[in-house]
Structure 1
Amino acid sequence: MTSKIPVIAQCTVTNSLQLGGLMVEELTVYLARNKDLVFPHRHNFYHFILFTEGSGRHSIDFEQFEIEPWQFYFMSPGQIHTWDFGDDVAGFVVNFDRDFFKTFLLRPEYVHNFSFFSGLVKDEVFVLEESERAAVLHIFARLLNNVDDLDFARVSLLYLFHVLEKQRHLPKAQDKNLYNHTLLRNFIDLIEVNYSALRLPKEYAALLYITPNHLNALSKEFLGFSAGELIRDRVVLEAKRLLVIHDYAVSEIAYELNFNDNSYFTKFFKKATGLTPDEFRRSMDITQK
């Protein structure tokens, strides 16, 4: 089954003068060039925006957010995005390729340690604290003026990520216990690869060489969800993504997601969302017009 939700490559949205896998731009300029990009789509690159002013809304993986001044949102490759921005929006936008840090960091996956690159929507949208706003604006101004110096840009982005992570006041235990954080990161990565085949926390715990109770405790302590909820939510998310592709029958989606039959998939989906698959599909018809 091939997704028909368009995947947007960075070359289609980026100013051609900005090369090297990075784009940094004022939001008004970016939106003027990409004013038609309001339909549901995915990116094959990392993308984030800071709104300094404006109104409207946007959604990431079907969760909607109202724009407010000093709001950041982050998106990882593969997430579904729509937006409806007012004419008054201003701010900054940054796109960078998956391999942008590959030759710069000994461990390029280091960026996944930042909470806003977790792939969990609840971590990806937040408001910048007033005490950090002047410093963050200074970082963006320097990025705009030095975007062709890729090493400078990489250092500046990493510094920005650390500033943002620090202001989020995450539990100190998460910062101190690198082992547990690594376990959770690996758990999330394993879900991403295996969600259609492996549905039980004990199956993931075995792959991580820990007990199911340990995995569940870590998940609840640091992420606020049980291990089972994280697995279920990823399956539901993929079901939603496939349901907005109207060419696919519900039975085809059930088969793609490894459910034994259509009725079991429908019960699973309704228990998680309160809607049947067909009801969800109809609701998306309304919200996307």
Structure 2
Amino acid sequence: MKSGSLLFESNYKKLGMHAFDETGLSSANAENFRSYIKVLLVPKGYCLSIDFNQYHTEQYTLFFVNSNQYLHITTGTAENARMIYYNRDFYCIQLHDAELACDGLLFNNIFEIPKVALSEAGLQNTLNIFSTIQEELISKDYSSEEMIRIHLKQLIIQATRAWRKQNLEGSTLPVPAEEDLFRNFSRLVEIHFRSKHSVSEYADLLGIAPKSLATRLKKLKLENPNEVIKARIVLEAKRLMMYTGSSIKEISYQLGYDDPGYFNRIFHQKAGCTPAAFKKSLKQHQSPEEQDYSGLSPIFQA
């Protein structure tokens, strides 16, 4: 597929495919893609930022970006990258989660790992899926919508299996049983981080003791759940500072803190700087894409 876009649209449902190389990065970074869920197939030699983490591709890699996440492709090569983008009306990961188990793994995972490196066989399968979806977008047959959805589901299933193999097989716990805890905690934090800030609240929702939650996450090589919760709150604060005109005090209230001073201390602990300093750093650059966030906090480094 040469650089450019294809789009399916029907009754609020949208799915498109956009191809780009190093000469078309501005098109891929355009604001009109921000509200979509995105799956990117990126060749070797690209650099991109997702939620203030920087990734340099050393092989073909799939990236999974939710609609509320910050994405910017910084550098590319002459080889095309491809992006499938779609809205929740077309395909909702939460509604299909019971089938696919991708929410909390590919999307919204507390490891902050939104990528899958592709083997030679995995790349060939992925290229075939992208090509088939492209053909359906071009043909616009009456059955194209369902065919596209089937192949998107296939892509997500294959990527979920690869993500598990790359990120969970080294844990000291039985993967099937503990994966549910991992995924459920990820989803609960994503849903409730604005109103629930304590480990005990999430442990209650999961039906286990707070100490047990901490122990089991530690065996998965994760931080203490209290730090995971704080990290998600600080990440949202950074997004709000980038995308909205809200003051730090307003952001503090939006995230469930009546005491802005306490919120400032949490932000400084996780980000390594105050909210005011982070906000100032955004304004010092012509565009937020030029900002290097890698030194702000270890938890946001790739």
Shorter-chain TM range is: 0.7 to 0.9
Report the counterpart of residue 256 of structure 2 in structure 1: 258
Confirm or deny that 1:109 pairs with 2:92. no
* Alpha-carbon distance in 2 for matches of 1:106, 1:25: 22
Instruction: State the partner residue of 1:52.
Output: 43
1:81 aligns with 2:74: no
User: How far apart, CA to CA, are the structure 2 residues paired with 1:23 and 1:107?
Assistant: 17
Gaps of 5+ in 1: 1-12
Shift of 1:125: 2.4
Question: What's the counterpart of residue 158 of structure 1?
Answer: 153
In 2, Cα distance between equivalents of 1:175 and 1:155: 27
Contact 1:46 1:96 in 2 (8 A): yes
Q: How many residues are paired up? A: 269
Paired residue for 2:17? 25
Q: Deviations over 1:79-111 (max 9, x none)?
A: 122233446251321112224346xx9952244
TM-score, normalised to structure 1, is: 0.77
Contact 1:71/1:128 (CA < 8 Å) preserved in 2? yes
Q: Post-superposition shift, 1:206?
A: 1.3
Residues 43 and 57, structure 2, Cα contact 8 Å, conserved in 1: no
Residue correspondence of structure 1 range 57-68 to structure 2 within 5 A: 57-68=47-58
Query: Does the CA contact (< 8 Å) of 1:59 and 1:83 recur in 2?
Result: yes
Deviates more, 1:271-280 or 1:255-264: 255-264
- 1:70 maps to 60
Kept after mapping to 2: 8 A contact 1:42/1:79: no
Deviation (angstroms), 1:201: 0.7
The Cα RMSD (Å) is 3.3
**Which consecutive residues of structure 2, in runs of 5 or more, have no partner in the other structure?**
291-302
* Structure 1 counterpart of 2:236, one-letter code: E
Q: 2:39, 2:64 within 8 Å by CA — same for their partners in 1?
A: yes
Report 1:1-12 matches (<5 A). none
1:247 is displaced (CA, Å) by 3.5
1:90 matched to which residue of 2? Answer: 80
- The answer (yes or no) to whether the contact 2:110–2:228 under 8 Å persists in 1 is no
1:113 match: secondary structure: coil
Aligned to 2:176: 176
Spell out, residue by residue over 1:204-259, the C-alpha distance to the aligned partner (whole angstroms, 9 max, x if none).
11122221122223333346232112211111111112223573332232233233
Query: Whole-Å Cα distance in 2 between the matches of residues 124 and 76 of structure 1?
Result: 9
Which has the larger displacement, 218-227 or 124-133?
A: 218-227
Residue 133 of structure 2 corresponds to which residue in structure 1? 143
Structure 1 counterpart of 2:119: 129
Work out whether residues 61 and 79 of structure 1, in 8 Å CA contact, stay in contact via their aligned partners in 2: yes
Distance 2:266 2:227 in 1: 13
Partner of 2:63, secondary structure, is: strand
Compared with structure 1, are the counterparts of its residues 101 and 206 closer, same or farther at alpha carbon in structure 2 (3 Å cutoff)?
A: same
Identity of aligned residues (%): 23
- Per the normalisation by structure 2, the TM-score is 0.74
Residues 19 and 80, structure 2, Cα contact 8 Å, conserved in 1: yes
Letter of the 1:25 counterpart = M
